[in-house]
Amino acid sequence: METPEKRPPTTLRDTLRVFEKVDTKYAPLTAQEVADGLGTTHKIAREHLARLTEQGTLGSKRVGDTRVWWLLADRTHREADLRRERELTDQLLKTAPVAISVKNAAGETIVANRRAQDLLGLSEREILDKPEDVDEWDIFDATGEPLDPEDTPAARVYQTGNPVFNEEVAIRRPSGEQMWFSVNAAPIFDDDGTLDRVVSAGEDITELKKRERQLEQRKSDLETELSEILGRISDGFYALDNQWCFIHVNSRAEEILQHTATDLLGTQIWTAFPDAEDSLFWEQVHEAMDSQEPVSFEVHEAHEDRWLEVNAYPSKTGLSVYLKDISQRVHREHQLERYEKIFETIQDGVYSVDNDNRFTMVNDAYLEMVEYPREELIGAHSSTVVETETTETAQEIQQSLESDEVESSKLEADLYTSSGRTIRAEATFALLPGDGDGYERVGVVRDVSDRVARERVLTARARQQKAVSELGQLALENSDLDDLFKQASQRVAAVLENDYCKVLELDATAEHLLLRQGVGWRDGIVGTATVSSVEAESQASYTLLSEGPVIVTDLENDTRLSGPELLTSHGITSGISTIIGSLEAPWGILGTHATEKKLFTDEDISFIQSVANILAEAIERQRYEDELEALVEALGESNERLEQFAYIASHDLQEPLRMISNYLQLIESRYRDELDDDARDFIDFAVDGAERMREMVNGLLKYSRVDTETEPFEPTDIEAVVERVLANLQLPIEQHAIEVAVEPLPTVYGDRKQFEQLFQNLVSNAIKYRSDASPQIEIGVTERETDWLFAISDNGIGIDTDHHERIFEVFRRLHSHEEYAGTGIGLALCRKIVERHSGRIWVESAPNEGSTFYVTIPRTEVSNE
Ligand code: ADP
């Protein structure tokens, strides 16, 4: 704090200044106020005041009990004040940053301050000396039009007596440079009210104007650029004013809105697009305008199936709207959604792995299949669920897919689930572009365990069926039962993938079963080993008592049976055995066995049953064939005996027969005259009967000799044979005027004499059994694949169908001896001859329609046994 002693001394002049500083210069002040103003003591202030009052500079008087002093205004002071004011004005004029000039009533410039001089490039002198030159400068108004001298701001003030404010004018300097001023001009009137002077103040706004012009240029540039940008942007853009009228539409918007800008500009959007009213669009843009917040929404134009994204930016003056056709994106999204839906809803598992074979994506079905949670599988290596080789194969497939040399994009492999299960699965692969350059491998996986199991069953069944049919065939072709049993055993064991198979045959005592054939058994026991068929509880005896196949899955723990030793000694655990033959009369047992515990399917069981049936049938057929053979043998023997008998009988009968005839003839010749007519007739009948009997005996003899007294087979010209026959029969043929037609006939292999006999019998029958109509006989032949078919036809009396078979029997006749002579042996003989040549003979005929006898003779050489 300053001490009073240190205060600077004050002067009378300082005291006067205190008075001058006060607002009202001549206002009275107290001594204290002056002391305060001077910053001095009351005492000093009183001394100064007293001195100044004495000098007559200050007046003083008491007001109440307070004395006050005031400044006395004398002329000197007033002049001094005026001078000071003028100096101030001059100073202001000089230093003011605006150009100021004053014109007198005559319009001449009487004052131009420094700024005005600087700006106009003239000295004060030049201005004051040649004021008219100043006015001759070119002056322009704000629009750039030349300004008439009468129209300058100052001139107007003269004319109107009113001030002019902020009038912009341009002045071109002699140098050609143009300057801009904002001019204020005001009139000054003298005491009697006439205009005395005009003060003009011009602020240099050249820079400002320049800036303004630049800004305007910039603005217009920007506007052009904006408009270009708006035109260029690929999105549709339009702007509406606050009356919803179009004020800008770019070309893309024209396309999208399908209206030209010309049509739209100035039109209200709701007029141009009446449908837009009350739409989502309407709602959204109104909200935007109300809230002054931008909105973004998507609209679907059903008629175009087009999706638009609308972004609307509101402002006080209107709305800018951006339209983007996002149909493709939306469609893609929809498609993606659909794919996603498919992806998640398909039953197949879908996954993708990256180049490191790590899962990048899996669907629910896949997760369910492999029993892993998604978070555990994503990022995990594919070896989590498959073998390394499977991954390698999948990679190979991926490579072939990448290089387009697709062979198969499918792979079947095992999948290992988290719970340790194994699933047979089939994957189909495809490629997806990955994050980097490469591809991701997508696999669509299907659980094919069922199918594989089904296929396995089907293959097994097919193999079984094949085995059954082949064994069936073998059984037909092969009469060797042991071979059949052996092959059957091998096939059964192979098809069922069992080590053992056996065919057991029940022996005559029915107490033992012989291991007749089989596979898998110890060396040397097939053909010798036996199994008891009565031993309680053995699989063999148990099977013999069972109606169907007996299935054993675990022999040791089977409660129904145990053993036999044959099985247990081979370590057999499971198997199927079934009866060969019928339950009532079994032949034996077919069994197949495995050392491991094994489950057999129904197919396996029926397969065994089928094989057993084939064996049973083969055995049965073999038995039948054996019987037949024995029968044939027996028949042959009895036939031979019969023929022997017929031969002996006919041969031995000839002699007594001859005796009878001879002696009858002797009686007739020697005692003819002694006999009466009846006796002669009787003798004739007896002779006749003996003759017929002789013929029959001869016939029988011939018949029995067909197989015994034979000629060797040789090529025989049937045409020559027939010629001979016709020559033999020439007499009756001519006698009865019979027409005989013979086709060219072949040479066949056989017994010529017997062929002669055959044709002789057939042709003579045709002659004998002719009808009244003119008789005709035709002999023809047809060449067939394996034989010749001869046909001997007549137009005779014919034969009733009932007798077609019988006429070929020995001594079988349809007529009496009186009607047609004959013994009834002819056709029987024919049949025997034909049969000896391995041919057949039959007749086709009807009464009165003639008969045709057919004979076949093989075309191949037939051995002459
Ligand atoms: P037969 O000595 O009686 O002729 P066959 O054995 O030759 O004996 O004939 C048996 C029977 O077949 C004859 O009795 C006759 O009735 C009948 N028959 C044979 N050939 C003919 C034929 N061509 N036309 C009609 N009947 C015939």
Kindly report, residue by residue over 18-43, the tens digit of the pLDDT.
Answer: 887 776 667 788 988 889 888 888 88
776-783 vs 739-742, strand pairing mode = parallel
CA pair distance 793, 740, nearest whole angstrom: 10
Residue 322 β-bridge partners: 237, 311
Average pLDDT over residues 673-696: 86
Task: Say what the pLDDT of residue 8 is.
Answer: 66
CA pair distance 619, 327, nearest whole angstrom: 82
Across 227-348, where does the E strand assignment appear? Answer: 236-241, 246-249, 295-301, 306-315, 318-325
CA pair distance 324, 256, nearest whole angstrom: 9
Q: Is the CA virtual torsion 336, 338, 343, 348 positive or negative? A: negative
pLDDT in tens, 483-504: 889 988 988 888 888 889 999 8
Phi-psi region of 664 (alpha: psi -120 to 50; beta: other; left: phi over 0): alpha
pLDDT in tens, 209-229: 888 888 888 888 888 877 777
Q: Is the CA virtual torsion 688, 689, 692, 693 positive or negative? A: negative
Of the ranges 246-260, 325-339, 781-795, which one carries the lowest mean pLDDT score?
325-339
Q: Is 822 in the pocket of ligand 1 (CB under 6 A)?
A: yes
Give me the residue label for tokens 């005492």. 43
CB 432 within 8 A of CB 442: yes
Q: Is-cis flag, bond preceding 715, omega within 30?
A: no
Which structure tokens are listed for 110?
A: 């009487």
Q: Is 823 in the pocket of ligand 1 (CB under 6 A)?
A: yes
pLDDT in tens, 726-735: 999 999 999 9
Rounded to the nearest whole angstrom, what is the distance from the C-alpha of residue 821 to the centroid of ligand 1? 10
CA pair distance 362, 344, nearest whole angstrom: 9
pLDDT band at 57 (very low <50, low <70, confident <90, very high): confident
Task: Say what the pLDDT of residue 435 is.
Answer: 65
Give me the residue label for tokens 């029968």. 631
User: What is the secondary structure of 603-622 as a DSSP string?
Assistant: HHHHHHHHHHHHHHHHHHHH
CA pair distance 684, 701, nearest whole angstrom: 25
Phi/psi at 817 (5° precision) = -65, -30
Q: Closest ligand 1 atom, CA of 764?
A: 23
Phi/psi at 742 (5° precision) = -120, 125
CA pair distance 480, 602, nearest whole angstrom: 30
Position 408 pLDDT exceeds 90: no
Residue nearest atom 13 of ligand 1, based on CA coordinates: 813
Position 575 pLDDT exceeds 90: no
Position 75 pLDDT exceeds 70: no
Give me the residue label for tokens 């292999």. 749
| Three-class SS state of 426 | strand
pLDDT in tens, 819-844: 898 889 999 999 999 999 999 999 99
Which structure tokens are listed for 661?
A: 């005839």
Task: Say what the pLDDT of residue 246 is.
Answer: 93
Rounded to the nearest whole angstrom, what is the distance from the C-alpha of residue 824 to the centroid of ligand 1? 7
Which structure tokens are listed for 647?
A: 């031969």
CA pair distance 180, 511, nearest whole angstrom: 146
Q: Closest ligand 1 atom, CA of 766?
A: 23
Q: Is 322 exposed, middle or buried (0-12, 13-18, 19+ CB in 10 A)?
A: buried
Question: Which residue intervals of 121-179 are DSSP H helices?
Answer: 124-129, 131-136, 153-160
CA pair distance 655, 669, nearest whole angstrom: 21
Rounded to the nearest whole angstrom, what is the distance from the C-alpha of residue 851 to the centroid of ligand 1? 10
Of the ranges 45-49, 71-75, 552-556, 784-788, which one carries the lowest mean pLDDT score?
71-75
Q: Is 769 in the pocket of ligand 1 (CB under 6 A)?
A: yes
Which structure tokens are listed for 35?
A: 């002391």
Per-residue DSSP letter, 846: -
Q: Is 533 in the pocket of ligand 1 (CB under 6 A)?
A: no
Task: Say what the pLDDT of residue 729 is.
Answer: 94
Phi/psi at 53 (5° precision) = -65, -40
HSE-up of residue 711 (Cα within 13 Å, Cβ side): 14
Q: Is 577 in the pocket of ligand 1 (CB under 6 A)?
A: no
pLDDT winner (highest mean) among 107-121, 241-255, 341-355, 400-414: 241-255
CB-based contacts of 830, cutoff 8 Å, min separation 6:
757, 758, 761, 762, 808, 841, 853, 855
HSE-up of residue 333 (Cα within 13 Å, Cβ side): 6
pLDDT in tens, 757-816: 999 999 999 999 999 889 999 999 999 999 999 999 999 999 999 999 999 998 888 888
Q: Is 829 in the pocket of ligand 1 (CB under 6 A)?
A: no
- What separation in angstroms does the CA of 372 have from each of 273, 352, 357, 418, 448? 57, 15, 17, 6, 19
Q: Is 857 in the pocket of ligand 1 (CB under 6 A)?
A: no
Q: Is 767 in the pocket of ligand 1 (CB under 6 A)?
A: no
Which structure tokens are listed for 383?
A: 């070896």
Residue 140 β-bridge partners: 146, 170
Residue nearest atom 4 of ligand 1, based on CA coordinates: 822
Round to the nearest angstrom and report the end-to-end CA distance of the chain: 176
CB 855 within 8 A of CB 841: yes
Position 95 pLDDT exceeds 90: no
Residue nearest atom 20 of ligand 1, based on CA coordinates: 765
Rounded to the nearest whole angstrom, what is the distance from the C-alpha of residue 814 to the centroid of ligand 1? 7
CA pair distance 601, 551, nearest whole angstrom: 10
Task: Say what the pLDDT of residue 461 is.
Answer: 85
Of the ranges 246-260, 343-357, 365-379, which one carries the lowest mean pLDDT score?
343-357
User: pTM to 2 decimals?
Assistant: 0.41
CB 759 within 8 A of CB 794: no
CA pair distance 217, 195, nearest whole angstrom: 44
CA pair distance 120, 127, nearest whole angstrom: 9
Position 6 pLDDT exceeds 60: no
Question: What single-letter amino acid sits at 432?
Answer: L
Residue nearest atom 19 of ligand 1, based on CA coordinates: 765
Position 561 pLDDT exceeds 80: no
Position 1 pLDDT exceeds 50: no
| Three-class SS state of 620 | helix
Mutational pocket test of ligand 1: of 802, 807, 852, the residue with most ligand atoms within 8 Å of the beta carbon:
807
Q: Is 15 in the pocket of ligand 1 (CB under 6 A)?
A: no
Task: Say what the pLDDT of residue 137 is.
Answer: 63
The fraction of the chain above a pLDDT of 90, given in percent, is: 21
CA pair distance 751, 716, nearest whole angstrom: 7
Position 851 pLDDT exceeds 90: yes
Task: Say what the pLDDT of residue 861 is.
Answer: 62
Position 276 pLDDT exceeds 70: yes
Task: Say what the pLDDT of residue 3 is.
Answer: 46
Per-residue DSSP letter, 95: H
Count other C-beta atoms under 10 Å from residue 270's C-beta: 14
Rounded to the nearest whole angstrom, what is the distance from the C-alpha of residue 765 to the centroid of ligand 1? 6
Task: Say what the pLDDT of residue 640 is.
Answer: 80
CA pair distance 45, 31, nearest whole angstrom: 6
| Three-class SS state of 413 | strand
pLDDT in tens, 500-551: 999 988 888 878 888 888 888 888 888 888 887 777 677 777 888 788 888 8
pLDDT band at 436 (very low <50, low <70, confident <90, very high): low
Mutational pocket test of ligand 1: of 792, 797, 813, the residue with most ligand atoms within 8 Å of the beta carbon:
813
CB-based contacts of 509, cutoff 8 Å, min separation 6:
none
Mean pLDDT over the full length of the chain:
85
